[in-house]
Structure 1
Amino acid sequence: MLKQYLEVKAQCPDKILFFRLGDFYEMFNDDALTASRELDLTLTGRGVGNKERVPMCGVPFHSADTYIERLVHKGYKVAICEQMEDPKTVKGIVKRKIIKVITPGTITLENAVASKKNNYISCVCARDTSIAVALMDVTTGECLWSLCNAGAMDDVLFDIFSVYEPSELIYAHMDEYMDAVQAYLRSRLAQCAVTPFAADDAADYEAVAVRYFGAEAVEEAKGAAACIGMLLTYVGEVMQSDIGHINSLERIDNERRLVIDAASLRHLEITQNVRDGGRKGTLLSILDKTKTAMGGRLLRKWLEAPLVRMADITLRQDAVEEILSHEIMRQDLADTMDRIYDFERILTRIETGTASPKDLVALRESLAAIPQLRYILEQADADLLQRLRDRIQTHDDMYDLLCRSIKDEPGLVIRNGGVIRDGYSAELDEIRSIAANSKAYLKELEEQEKEKTGIKMKIGYTKVFGYYFEISHANTKPIPDYYVRKQTLVNAERYITPALKEFEVKVLTSQERMLELEYQLFGQLRRDIQGHIREMQQTARAIARVDCLYSLACAAHDNHYIRPGLNTKQAVQIKDGRHPIIEKFLKDELFVPNDVTLNHSSHEILVITGPNMAGKSTYMRQVAVLVLMAQTGSFIPAREASICPVDRIFTRIGASDDILSGQSTFMVEMKEVSYILSHATERSLLVLDEIGRGTSTFDGMSIARAVIEYCLKHIHALTLFATHYHELTDMADTSEKIKNYTVAVKERGKNIKFLRRIIPGGADRSYGLHVARLAGLPESLLKRADVILSELESQGAVATPVTKKESRPPADSLFTDPVLERLLSVDVSSMTPIEAISFLYSLQKEAKEGSGMN
């Protein structure tokens, strides 16, 4: 047996081999050591002579899926070796064979991958200076592709990896490029399993791609066709099953989508938060009201790749508005889609032969809800909803087949039976009847023979002779020819008949035959459904789109969002905009809304100054998130808005080292800025926060000023630029396209209160000591810092603010505004002396508080 194991193991040296022995999957040698450590299994051993013991551990075959899933999630690959013969009928060693391999990118086990997230396997291959990349989700049948220049790997290929997060990567012909890919994966996607692919003639792989997707689709993907074919070949070899359900080929098209690099997605917390990478506190968590897992996955894609064409955005907006404005429709959609399971992934398990009885019940229940969903959509006027209705088919023949074949509450696993409905198979019904009603059947057979022959007899049974008719010698009537003598007794004879012998065979093997027949019928049922998978996938994908539109409508209803207008003036105008994430998590205060105006004539670059914690970053993120929401087709939190779609959103927010690549905070910042400046266009939106703060004051200030000038002269993108270098506010004097904004602050002596309002004008100081005081630094330390600041300012170490042409109240007078208002509004001539004294006293008290004297 161990020799057989080693022969099989040689076929999969890089995989953990689950070797079937009876009711267990066993692992030996290094596999056993690894599995026992990763799965917390008891490590045992088996003697093999010469006092040697082979390490081993095992798991029950009926619960192996759980263990396989845990290993695969840790980045391991698992090979399943099954017994190919019945041990009861074989002498010696049973034949065994690897029937499938499960890898991180090809796992289809139920609950093995997140229901509302895709699980991609990727392939990269190079030709000359071009790199092709293909991504596939085997659980949904989708395949994506793209091409990039080898010199742009950092910008394109790695950005794709970061957004789609493949769990497995295969590669071919990458040569000198693979070192950079491996380094990126180690630092960013450590759990991604990497495997070289031994590729032959590229034309062969192009033919594979044509077989799955058709010549026309592959022609459009010409440069990546071989890469796509390699990925299909690898997945087919690993899964060792038909993968015809993979039939959707789509280019990662930057011309039809808003491009957001991975860093910007992370900074804006669109689908993952910056704390632990989870979805809590993300835009996705706010907008995701989807009822199906299919819709949840698609909504994530919508947010990661919004639209850029106004016609496409308008189609979505119209559909969202109709669902939002019709409460009954919205409720009916919710009730109906609540009954629809993730049958997109169920279809994959049917195609690959891993579907369970529960899967077919879920598919049946999903199909049962589709007619009602179509009926609801027939009431819709929005063009997109009508198109989706036409793509949703009811699949009546499949529904009828599942109703006739599968019990209402079948057994959980097909090997235990109890799955096929009575009446579906006459042969199965007979076997079940025999097994359940054997005594009644024998009694009926006995009565039939008595009536037919006129002979008194009875049916008996012994373990040695089986079933028989016993006829006493007293019965002298002729015995029919089809009675065969079985045994002679002193006063009777025992006979068998063909009918009795057939019954005996059936009853003695009924349980085994019943399970075998159910398994065969279930397998045939899966094959019958496989012929309709493509059409049902189209229905599933259309339902996912309806679910996304419903989700956006519900989010708009629950959060009081408005439909943003669209314009062609390359301008963004938002009145009373709110940050959709932060406003949901504020518990003890209301979110302060703010306006924004961005255009190419007078507000191309907004320089935003003000203290830390005052809300500059929140404001800028808010603008970017609202634009992204609008281009997704979502409504937004604002009082009024008009937005021109942008082609890209870039952000440079926050500070962090890249320790693994040896880059400092400042180097990371400069690389991000370099990437933005080389890729942004006049149709882009830039969010730049604290550029230059990672170096000395004058170095940083010089870089910040130069970046603004470069954007103004060469890029002309709509830009939000937050800075502590309030000296930069003088740039508005030299360009009508630059405007200064600041965060309103209410100052009471050495204490400040952030008003969260963005107002025209610039700050003339950073309030660093005030923020330090809010943070709780020791008072003695703060006093010493105040002295040092005064000394530095008197020595001219810190640049003094430049006088602005703009008319605005000085920052230190913000507190006194209410005093001035009271003085201007009071009618002194009508006051009594006592009232005048009291009024003057209250003003003096307020003035002392403002000056810090009280």
Structure 2
Amino acid sequence: MAARRGLVTTPIRRQYLEIKRRFPQAIVFFRLGDFYETFDEDAKLVARELEITLTSKPMGKDLRVPLAGVPHHALQAHLKRLVGRGYKVAVCEQMEDPRKAKGLVAREVVRVVTPGTVVEEELLSAAANNYLAAVCPGPGGSGLAYVDITTGEFAATELSDADLALEIGRLGPAEVLLPEGSQPPASVQAPLTRLDAYAFNPEEAGRRLREHFRVASLEGYGLRGKPLAASAAGAVLAYLADNQRAALANVKDLSVYDASRFMVLDASARRHLEVFATAREGSRKGSLLETLDMTRTAMGARLLGRWLGQPLLDARAINERLDRVQRFFEDALGRGETRDRLREMPDVERIVGRIVAGVALPRDLAALRRALAAYPGVIAAAGGDFEVPAASRSAGEALALLEAAIADDPAPVLGEGGVIKAGFSPELDEARVLTGDARRALAEMEAEERDR
């Protein structure tokens, strides 16, 4: 909402309008003290969707604007409702202490939360992937790329328009990116986000992919002769750079696949076979997935869902998978021990995603410490010829650091103390002593004054 010409507005109003100008497609949650405030049309929408009071605020001479706000400690709950309904939210924080600011408090949008870019645990289903997909239409087919920034999974393919609709149905993306002016794929139910066609430009997309993966050529990723797939993958990276830049560090690889290697299950087949939900109630309970799902971790539950939605056709790949099943079937003792060990394993994929995105809480670090401690036991129990990731060699160093630095039972949130172990940081230990001395001195003074 632009300011009317000649209207005298407050500095904070001008600051808000400048931020809103940069994020016109998002609801701006503007931090004011202990509240996130929304203004103008955003306020009307937020009041309606969250069922909260719509008020107004003076923002200049003879100017009152609609206002709706939520407490800062309730941000996640309100984000969940808005993002779940397909809205995008730009979270604008105070970048300095208002008590120490000289003049207007500096504010910046620190993240844009969209259905396909959420990383917060409260906004996600533990047992399902949260995909952001991009579609690049072309003559005779389309390029499709998708990413789950909470796990780092990133894949791309090229396929016919008919197969595109089926693949979109299989993925069930939370958000779909499209070039401005293009038609969406058939039967897409996810929120659509239109991007400037330049984001899908083949040269620009190729450059962005090479820069991100730090390679001179994309042939090693299987993108040779697949310009539409590359364009869709580049558009995904462009969108993340604008809305969740920190999450790019969790996207370390790109898998280019051929959809013809897998059995196609259209929506009707999935429904009648009750793969993910029962045909009558549409409930997970009683479905094939619910019947088979005896996984012990959220990571395993998501993998099982992907396998059921994308059945293999290649006999060699099928037999390799069956060989693993047979080994555990015949080794009841090893199977039981592996399952017991896996109970101790938290959702490492998403913990790492939150750490990379800069939204991890102390409990995430404690959970990662627990996972690293349990990892050798899981590998030993599983036995066999399982390939141990090369990165696991540094797990011992990370575990040692977490054990030395993070309290055994850390505080649930930052800012309340109780996160860093005593003895890890001499400077912090000294600050704690000084703080404790000051509190004791104040308590003694209060007691003396009370006794007078």
Identity of aligned residues (%): 36
Give unmatched runs, 5+ long, in structure 2.
Answer: 1-11, 446-452
Question: CA distance change for structure 1 residues 134 and 221 in 2, over 3 Å: closer, same or farther?
Answer: farther
SS at match of 1:156: helix
In 2, the alpha carbon distance for the partners of 1:44 and 1:438 equals 43
Q: Match of 2:147? A: 136
User: Does structure 1 residue 118 correspond to structure 2 residue 129?
Assistant: yes
In 2, the alpha carbon distance for the partners of 1:388 and 1:295 equals 17
Q: CA deviation at 1:41?
A: 1.4
Question: CA distance change for structure 1 residues 277 and 164 in 2, over 3 Å: closer, same or farther?
Answer: farther
Q: CA deviation at 1:230?
A: 1.4
User: Does structure 1 residue 244 correspond to structure 2 residue 243?
Assistant: no
Q: Match of 2:407? A: 407
Question: CA distance change for structure 1 residues 30 and 422 in 2, over 3 Å: closer, same or farther?
Answer: same
In 1, the alpha carbon distance for the partners of 2:115 and 2:440 equals 54
The amino acid across from 2:105 in the alignment is V
| Partner residue of 1:146 out of 157, 165, 172 | 157
In 1, the alpha carbon distance for the partners of 2:365 and 2:250 equals 17
| Partner residue of 2:342 out of 337, 344, 369 | 337
SS at match of 2:429: helix
Mapping of residues 52-451 of structure 1, within 5 Å: 52-148=63-159, 152-153=160-161, 155-172=162-179, 175=181, 178-179=182-183, 181=185, 184-185=187-188, 189=189, 191-199=190-198, 201-213=201-213, 214=215, 215=218, 216-217=220-221, 219-220=223-224, 222-223=226-227, 224-378=229-383, 380=384, 386-389=385-388, 393=392, 395-437=395-437
Q: CA deviation at 1:196?
A: 2.7
Task: Report if aligned partners of 1:119, 1:166 keep a CA contact under 8 Å in 2.
Answer: yes
Give unmatched runs, 5+ long, in structure 1.
Answer: 381-385, 442-460, 462-854
In 1, the alpha carbon distance for the partners of 2:279 and 2:265 equals 16
Q: Match of 1:5? A: 16
Q: Number of matched residues?
A: 425
| Deviation digits for residues 652-689 of structure 1 (CA, Å, limit 9, x no counterpart) | xxxxxxxxxxxxxxxxxxxxxxxxxxxxxxxxxxxxxx
| Deviation digits for residues 368-406 of structure 1 (CA, Å, limit 9, x no counterpart) | 11111111123x3xxxxx134567836111111111110
The amino acid across from 1:208 in the alignment is R
Q: Match of 1:481? A: none
In 1, the alpha carbon distance for the partners of 2:313 and 2:168 equals 22
| Partner residue of 2:37 out of 26, 31, 34 | 26
Q: Match of 1:592? A: none
Task: Report if aligned partners of 1:146, 1:252 keep a CA contact under 8 Å in 2.
Answer: yes
Task: Report if aligned partners of 2:158, 2:258 keep a CA contact under 8 Å in 1.
Answer: no
| Deviation digits for residues 58-107 of structure 1 (CA, Å, limit 9, x no counterpart) | 11212211111210001000001111222112233212121211100001
Mapping of residues 493-508 of structure 1, within 5 Å: none
Question: CA distance change for structure 1 residues 232 and 288 in 2, over 3 Å: closer, same or farther?
Answer: same
Task: Report if aligned partners of 2:86, 2:191 keep a CA contact under 8 Å in 1.
Answer: yes
Task: Report if aligned partners of 1:133, 1:145 keep a CA contact under 8 Å in 2.
Answer: yes
Q: Match of 1:763? A: none
SS at match of 1:143: strand
Task: Report if aligned partners of 1:209, 1:226 keep a CA contact under 8 Å in 2.
Answer: no
The amino acid across from 1:6 in the alignment is L
SS at match of 2:136: strand
Task: Report if aligned partners of 1:221, 1:251 keep a CA contact under 8 Å in 2.
Answer: no
Mapping of residues 668-747 of structure 1, within 5 Å: none
The amino acid across from 1:18 in the alignment is F
In 2, the alpha carbon distance for the partners of 1:242 and 1:104 equals 14
Q: CA deviation at 1:2?
A: 1.8
Q: CA deviation at 1:51?
A: 5.6
In 2, the alpha carbon distance for the partners of 1:439 and 1:255 equals 69
Question: CA distance change for structure 1 residues 439 and 8 in 2, over 3 Å: closer, same or farther?
Answer: closer
Q: CA deviation at 1:227?
A: 1.8
Q: Which has the larger radius of gyration?
A: 1
Q: CA deviation at 1:412?
A: 1.0
Q: CA deviation at 1:242?
A: 4.9
- Structure 1 window deviating more from structure 2 (155-164 vs 302-311): it is 302-311
The amino acid across from 1:271 in the alignment is F
Task: Report if aligned partners of 1:69, 1:109 keep a CA contact under 8 Å in 2.
Answer: no
Task: Report if aligned partners of 2:198, 2:204 keep a CA contact under 8 Å in 1.
Answer: no
The amino acid across from 2:27 in the alignment is I
Q: CA deviation at 1:52?
A: 5.0
Task: Report if aligned partners of 1:170, 1:197 keep a CA contact under 8 Å in 2.
Answer: no
| Deviation digits for residues 396-439 of structure 1 (CA, Å, limit 9, x no counterpart) | 11111111110011111112222111111111111112223469
| Deviation digits for residues 166-197 of structure 1 (CA, Å, limit 9, x no counterpart) | 11111127x5xx3353x633xxx1x4233233
In 2, the alpha carbon distance for the partners of 1:23 and 1:118 equals 33
| Deviation digits for residues 425-483 of structure 1 (CA, Å, limit 9, x no counterpart) | 11111111222346999xxxxxxxxxxxxxxxxxxx9xxxxxxxxxxxxxxxxxxxxxx
In 2, the alpha carbon distance for the partners of 1:30 and 1:280 equals 41
Question: CA distance change for structure 1 residues 46 and 93 in 2, over 3 Å: closer, same or farther?
Answer: same
In 2, the alpha carbon distance for the partners of 1:253 and 1:262 equals 20
Question: Which structure has the higher relative contact order (CA within 8 Å, separation 6+)?
Answer: 2
The amino acid across from 1:314 in the alignment is N
In 2, the alpha carbon distance for the partners of 1:324 and 1:246 equals 35
Mapping of residues 536-555 of structure 1, within 5 Å: none
The amino acid across from 2:237 in the alignment is L
Q: Match of 2:7? A: none
In 2, the alpha carbon distance for the partners of 1:29 and 1:114 equals 32
Q: CA deviation at 1:221?
A: 7.1
SS at match of 2:415: helix
In 1, the alpha carbon distance for the partners of 2:315 and 2:132 equals 33
SS at match of 1:415: coil
The amino acid across from 1:168 in the alignment is E
Task: Report if aligned partners of 2:335, 2:382 keep a CA contact under 8 Å in 1.
Answer: no
Question: CA distance change for structure 1 residues 316 and 31 in 2, over 3 Å: closer, same or farther?
Answer: same
Task: Report if aligned partners of 2:76, 2:122 keep a CA contact under 8 Å in 1.
Answer: no
SS at match of 1:163: helix
| Deviation digits for residues 202-229 of structure 1 (CA, Å, limit 9, x no counterpart) | 3122122123344311544742212211
The amino acid across from 1:197 in the alignment is D
Q: CA deviation at 1:304?
A: 1.1
In 1, the alpha carbon distance for the partners of 2:194 and 2:439 equals 61
